Amino acid sequence: MANTNHRTITPGGSGLTSTIDDYMRFARMLLNEGELDGVRVPQPETVRLMATNHLSDSVKVRSWLPSKGQVGFGIDFAVRLRPAATPEENNGVVGEFFWDGAASTLFWLDPENEHAASYSCR
């Protein structure tokens, strides 16, 4: 007898496509704490929550993004917690947040200096 309770789970970004220009608009919206071109999507508190580390200090081993430096993890983003500890780590500003996506894409935000960047090698 077949199991009729089987559910297929699709990852949230599965099949999601966009342009690099739209990716940059997304990054600028986050840099502006949820607002772009006079339109607010998330509230500023939500963006700050997304860009705040939510990992416990007891998490010592971080196998993701090892070359990115001393990072924690917010809601969807890596968050820089401390300056680079070794020459192999990327330099950065404490509080910056970023994500390296699939297909060699990334976005990076430095709220302190009001910088945003997005990249795709395709």
User: What confidence score (pLDDT) does residue 95 get?
Assistant: 93
Is 7 within 8 Å of 21 (Cβ atoms)? no
User: What confidence score (pLDDT) does residue 86 get?
Assistant: 82
User: What confidence score (pLDDT) does residue 62 get?
Assistant: 66
User: What confidence score (pLDDT) does residue 1 get?
Assistant: 55
- Residue 26: name the closest of 53, 8, 5, 47 by CA: 47
User: What confidence score (pLDDT) does residue 39 get?
Assistant: 97
User: What confidence score (pLDDT) does residue 76 get?
Assistant: 82
Question: Could you state, in chain order, the average pLDDT of each consecutive group of 10 residues for the chain (122 residues)?
Answer: 66 72 92 96 95 88 68 88 84 88 82 90 68
